[in-house]
Amino acid sequence: MRTYRITTALLIITSAILAFSCKKDLEEMNKDPQGFTTASHGSLFNGIIQSLLPGWNEQFYVNNEILYKQTQQAALTKEAWGNFTIGTEEMWTNYYGALTQIRELERRFSEMDNSAELSNMQAMLKTALAYKTFKLTDVFGDIPFFDAGYGFQDLEQLHPEFDRQETIYKFLLQELVWVDENISDTATMEEPFATFAGFDKLFNGDMKMWRKFANSLSLRHAMRMAEKDPLFAGEIIKNIIENERPVLYGYDFLTPKLESACMWPAAMGFSNESMNWSFREHNNLRMGSNIWHQLSKHDSADGSGIIDPRAYIFFEGNNANKWVAFPQIPVISTPASGGIPYGTHRDQVGAFGIKGETCIYSPFNYYVIRDEDYMPIILITGAEVHFIKAEAYFRGIGVAVDQSKADGEYMNGINTSVEWWKNVAENSKLPVSGMSFGENISIPAHLNAASVLFVFGSWNASSDEEKLAFIYTQRWLDAFRQPWEAYALARRTGFTPHEGEPISHYRMPYPPSEVEYNSANWASALANQGGGDTPDFKIWWIP
């Protein structure tokens, strides 16, 4: 495991020299597909897309050790890895390393003549920057942004000030409006015109998908800040919904589209080795009683109470093939968890069911955490967009309250999520044996979107409060492999499924390197946010 102690300042200098570094999971992506050996526009953009992949230590120390516990999407059976700063250092390093590349491209673009091709490249860059920046500020709060990433151009900017999260949010949302308005679907994509098309590993130069991605991010983050500035957020949401701006579609009326923004390893030329490593070496996550009670109507270990096919995709039986949840809030007498459910021995034919005698609780599905070629790294799904629209119509945020439209978007969200995850599972394979998901796991035929709606359909809710809880529950389930997004939803609403006290963990402390080398600006940032660098201090958009 690698411990990162690189400061924002030192990182800027290093990144300027190296342009961009290789990552274990992305060595093939890091190669310029056109064979250039210099840092061309496209190769720099390729490095930025690479940086969207969560790092090894981020997954281990932040996602697995902290976020799954806080979201209660799983149960942390033992807290054994307290050094979360290894993960937060990596997140910080990843962001500011990519930011230097982004600033360099911005500089180059400023020297070019205006054209449709340039606008498209700017739009792609702005969207990638928005995704990365939203993710970082949503974890830490205020961060250096407007003056950050310029150290290689101006040494006086080696210690950038922290900017307020509210200012960053509103700037990025306005940038995404620019993206929607300025993308050209007819711009030339062939040389000698400037283009990222040959280097765009995310959408292969499909500008319609980039527009949908940008607008979907706008909906996500406008809704996130709606409690603090409903007028600003409402205008963003209103523009997209009422003007029918293109977004990622789960269902387009009755037609399944199942669109998403994801990094698909095999299609993008890399193997996602870090995912299994983070679970195998951590080994303390199991299915918790909280999520189990959203997937099954009773606790029968034979699985007869399961109402949601995603239960078979997200989790599996224990070593005895029984469905047993680890208590979300264990007591001293709770039997310890053990076994080797994430060991790579399970790749071999005949060994899939060997999880260790002490694996007495249901683990994560082995395919979800082991398939390094066909299991996607999710940025945002069409299902999430439906759930955001459902909340907007239900609460009247940016649009008029419309219960019928809220119900329709909610139903489409469930239909999309169930079908999308089933499609992912059907295409999943183990990297060594090549065994498909269906060869080892059979989802009962009676489980589908209808079986979920039979229990969680809005018509089953006894109050408006319960209807809203249904929307949040299904969005929370869809974000199963995006614990950082479920973490944001839980903090914003305080209304996602949980056992025990509501969430009181609101942010991650800044990494030690930033505290040490940008101490004055760090101290100012803490004062602006309430004075503490601990998880109990709320970031700006949390009510």
Average pLDDT, the chain: 91
Encode pLDDT of 467-487 as tens digits.
999 999 999 999 999 999 999
The tokens 């109470």 sit on which residue?
Answer: 305
Encode pLDDT of 273-314 as tens digits.
999 999 999 999 999 999 999 999 999 999 999 999 999 999
The three-state (H, E, C) secondary structure of 349-417, written as one string: CCCCCCCCCCCCCCCECHHHHHCCCCCCEEEEEHHHHHHHHHHHHHHCCCCCCCHHHHHHHHHHHHHHH
Contact 97/21 with Cβ under 8 angstroms?
yes
Contact 53/23 with Cβ under 8 angstroms?
yes
Peptide bond into 363 cis (omega under 30): no
Encode pLDDT of 392-435 as tens digits.
999 999 999 999 999 999 999 999 999 999 999 999 999 999 99
Q: What is the pLDDT of residue 39?
A: 64
pLDDT-derived band of residue 74, with 50, 70 and 90 as boundaries? Answer: very high
- Range 68-90 average pLDDT: 96
Question: Which domains, from first to last, does the chain contain?
Answer: 8-273+372-521 (1.25.40.390)
The pLDDT of residue 189 is above 80: no
Q: What is the pLDDT of residue 190?
A: 65
Give the pTM. Answer: 0.93
The pLDDT of residue 10 is above 70: no
Tell me how far apart the alpha carbons of residues 520 and 160 are, in angstroms, rounded to a whole number: 10
Give the Å distances, CA to CA, from 428 to 37, 85, 262, 376, 425: 35, 33, 15, 10, 5
